[in-house]
């Protein structure tokens, strides 16, 4: 293999690892923001008389010492046509999340999260590559879990630490080769109740095709008033931007755009033993979040994957085949429960 090809392959592996693991930071950032909000809700002051506002029923519920949360998300990406008439792809996902936090005191809040996602791929009539069909990848899973710790240093500063082992594989593939870990450490500075900045590092453990990486990270949150919110990095599935508008206490509109990557270690007994299937997308979503009670919310949404790429790598990380998808509709629904 030439030196040029080796360089290209190393660059592909770097980009793959970067995008695959940034979503771990996003989830960690959301957990920190959520835990921070527990502190902020109990200390909100009236702008006119500087007196502490009485907490609402929702704020009282969220400010409990122990809080457990579970959620389910179904997403569908049906009948996406590929460029150059190379066929079509259908994708369906079922995602389950469980997490809890325990408030030791006002400054120390440990937590733990567990995520399981099942993915089903229907790859139909992919021309010029007879192997890229249901025989190479039909169903896969992603399992991620790990502890976290939020430390509130002052009214403005806080730090967040987390460690996440992760497995992502086709059913029947090698669990050991599908393993990697990610650890994140970052600080948050809240200028005021409306603006916060987060910065730190993400460490991505080595895997068979790549070495350990250290990546700088950043996040931003802006709430110009009680109804609007704008942020960077607070999207469920990957790094991106989001905005929301609260219509009333129970209903809000939300829009987001993100960069999402799923990757699956392929079965050792398959057509590409020990290889990897990458599914990279740029979705835009618009939806509503309805919260009739403090412990329950539902989030239906619609959108479009404006850019998609599907790539198969062999066990050495070499490109076997890459196809691109046309913009297509997508949608789903999320349900969240807090205990």
pLDDT digits 0-9 by tens, 289-310: 999 998 999 999 999 999 999 8
The SS3 assignment for 295 reads coil
DSSP-derived letter for residue 48 is T
Averaged pLDDT of the chain: 80
Per-residue tokens: 132: 């890229």
DSSP 101-139: EE-SSSSEEEEEEEEEEEEEEEEE--TT-TTSSTTT-SE
Terminal-to-terminal C-alpha distance of the chain:
56
- Largest distance between two CA atoms of the chain: 72
Given this model, what pLDDT does residue 50 score? Answer: 44
pLDDT value at position 269?
A: 80
Rounded alpha-carbon distances, angstroms, from residue 268 to 115, 120, 123, 212, 276: 25, 19, 20, 24, 11
Residue 325 reports pLDDT greater than 60 = yes
Least confident of 69-83, 164-178, 197-211, 238-252: 197-211
Question: Which residue range(s) make up the domain with 178?
Answer: 3-338
Sign of CA dihedral 251, 96, 238, 332: negative
Q: Kindly provide the b/e burial profile for residues 252-277, where b requires at least 16 CB atoms within 10 angstroms of the residue's own CB.
A: bebebbbbbbbbbbbbeebbbebbbb
Q: Quote the pTM value.
A: 0.78
How far apart CA 56 and CA 35 sit, in angstroms, is 17
* CATH number (domain holding residue 328): 2.40.160
Q: Note whether 228 and 254 are within 8 A (CB).
A: no
pLDDT at 5 over 70: no
pLDDT tens-digit map of 8-40: 554 554 454 454 444 444 444 445 544 445 444
Cβ neighbour number for residue 7 with a 10 Å cutoff: 10
Structure tokens given for 20: 């695959």
Q: Which of 68, 32, 29, 30 is nearest to 295 (CA)?
A: 68
Q: With left for phi above 0 and alpha for psi between -120 and 50, is residue 61 left, alpha or beta?
A: alpha
In tens, the pLDDT along 106-151 reads 899 999 999 999 999 887 655 544 445 555 567 899 999 999 999 9
Do residues 230 and 243 lie in contact, with contact meaning Cβ atoms separated by under 8 Å? Answer: yes
51 falls in which pLDDT band (50, 70, 90)? very low
Q: How buried is residue 281: exposed, middle or buried, by Cβ count under 10 Å (0-12/13-18/19+)?
A: buried
Which helix (H) or strand (E) is 28 found in, with range?
Answer: helix 3-42
At 130 the pLDDT is 43
Domains in the chain: how many in total? 1
């Amino acid at each position: 293999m030439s030196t040029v090809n080796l360089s290209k392959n190393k660059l592909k592996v770097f980009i793959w690892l970067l995008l695959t693991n940034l979503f771990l930071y996003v989830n960690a950032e959301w957990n920190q923001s959520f835990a921070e909000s527990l502190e902020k809700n109990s200390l909100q002051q009236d702008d006119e008389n500087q007196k502490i506002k009485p907490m609402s029923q929702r704020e009282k519920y969220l400010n409990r010492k122990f809080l457990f949360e579970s959620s389910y998300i179904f997403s569908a990406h049906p009948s996406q046509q590929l460029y150059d008439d190379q066929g079509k792809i259908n994708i369906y996902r079922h995602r389950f999340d469980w997490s809890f936090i325990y408030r030791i005191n006002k400054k120390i809040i440990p937590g733990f999260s567990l995520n399981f996602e099942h993915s089903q791929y229907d790859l139909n009539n992919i021309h010029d590559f007879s192997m890229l069909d249901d025989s190479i990848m039909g169903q896969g899973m992603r399992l991620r879990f790990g502890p976290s710790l939020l430390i509130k240093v002052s009214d403005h500063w806080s730090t967040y630490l987390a460690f996440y082992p992760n497995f992502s594989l086709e059913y029947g593939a090698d669990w050991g080769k599908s393993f990697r870990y990610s650890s994140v450490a970052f600080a948050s500075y809240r200028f005021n109740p409306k603006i916060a900045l987060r910065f730190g590092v993400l460490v991505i453990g080595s895997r068979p095709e790549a070495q350990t990486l250290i990546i700088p990270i950043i996040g931003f949150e802006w709430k110009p008033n009680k109804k609007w919110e704008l942020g960077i990095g607070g999207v469920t599935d990957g790094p991106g931007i989001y905005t929301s508008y609260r219509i009333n206490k129970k209903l809000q509109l939300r829009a987001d755009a993100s960069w999402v990557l799923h990757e699956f270690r392929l079965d050792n007994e398959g057509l590409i033993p020990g290889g990897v299937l990458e599914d990279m997308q740029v979705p835009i979503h618009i939806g509503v979040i309805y919260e009739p009670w403090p412990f329950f919310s539902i989030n239906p949404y619609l959108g479009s994957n404006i850019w998609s790429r599907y790539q198969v790598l062999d066990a050495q990380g070499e490109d076997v085949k890459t196809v691109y998808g046309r913009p297509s509709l997508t949608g789903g629904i999320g349900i969240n429960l807090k205990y």
